[in-house]
Amino acid sequence: MSENNRMIKIYLYSKFERFWHWVQAVLIILLIITGLEIHGAYNLFGFERAVTLHNFFGLSWLVLYAFIVFWLFTTGEWKQYIPTTRKLYDVANYYCVDIFKGKPHPVQKCKDAKHNPLQRLTYLGISALLLPFQMATGLLYYTYNSWETWGIGKFLDLGILALIHTALAFIILSFLVVHVYMTTTGHSVTSHVTAMCCGWEEVEEGTQVEDWERGVVS
């Protein structure tokens, strides 16, 4: 934070945004827990119970994801994910070097720009590519007994599909770990988590919004 600026609170995250964020996080954690048990990492629920729970959590996540996509496009929040390279280097340099020197973040949050350039690229890649692909592999695995009826059995291999599904799960787990760490990099350790709980984010007074932050990317 700059020495001359004080912090003010702005309402950044709506109730539904906070709801789907936390529910999705819980579902991902439960899917990882049951998925690891299915692979024999430990015995918590029992294999059959773990499979049943894993399928339920997976289908629940699929339904939630559909609502999230609908919400993004009906509210215009999809603009928050428009990728840009503006200040991308500055943000990357901040997390690699400047954050350890106590320097301020080069991009302040505001209503029109909740995510910095690095977050936009990351979240877009995860939401538009990684998660749909993971859900598709899980759904195919779930409907394995119908492959022959649908005529796709000769094009798919269950072993390879399971390997891909598991590999993607570990990528998602890696993102989750990094994401949790990043929540501690605000002006206080708990500021970002608090904002996602109550909706109000603390930002520097007088923060200016640039054109690219309004979704105008050239």
pLDDT recorded at residue 216: 45
At 5, is the pLDDT very low, low, confident or very high (cuts 50, 70, 90)? Answer: low
CA distance 14 to 189: 22
Q: Which fold has domain 20-186?
A: Fumarate Reductase Cytochrome B subunit (1.20.950)
Identify the residue with better confidence: 186 or 176: 176
At 102, is the pLDDT very low, low, confident or very high (cuts 50, 70, 90)? Answer: confident
Span of 50-64, 100-114, 129-143, 147-161 with lowest mean pLDDT? 100-114
Identify the residue with better confidence: 182 or 6: 182
All residues at 6 or more sequence positions from 91 whose CB lies less than 8 Å from its CB, including other chains? 105, 106, 107, 116, 117, 118
- Of 211, 193, 215, the closest CA to residue 202 belongs to 193
The residue-averaged pLDDT of 26-51 equals 96
Domain ranges of the chain: 20-186
The residue-averaged pLDDT of 40-55 equals 95
pLDDT recorded at residue 1: 46
Q: What mean pLDDT is reported for the chain?
A: 90
Q: Is the pLDDT of residue 7 over 80?
A: no
pLDDT recorded at residue 218: 37
pLDDT recorded at residue 170: 96
At 213, is the pLDDT very low, low, confident or very high (cuts 50, 70, 90)? Answer: low
Q: Are 118 and 88 in contact (CB under 8 A)?
A: yes
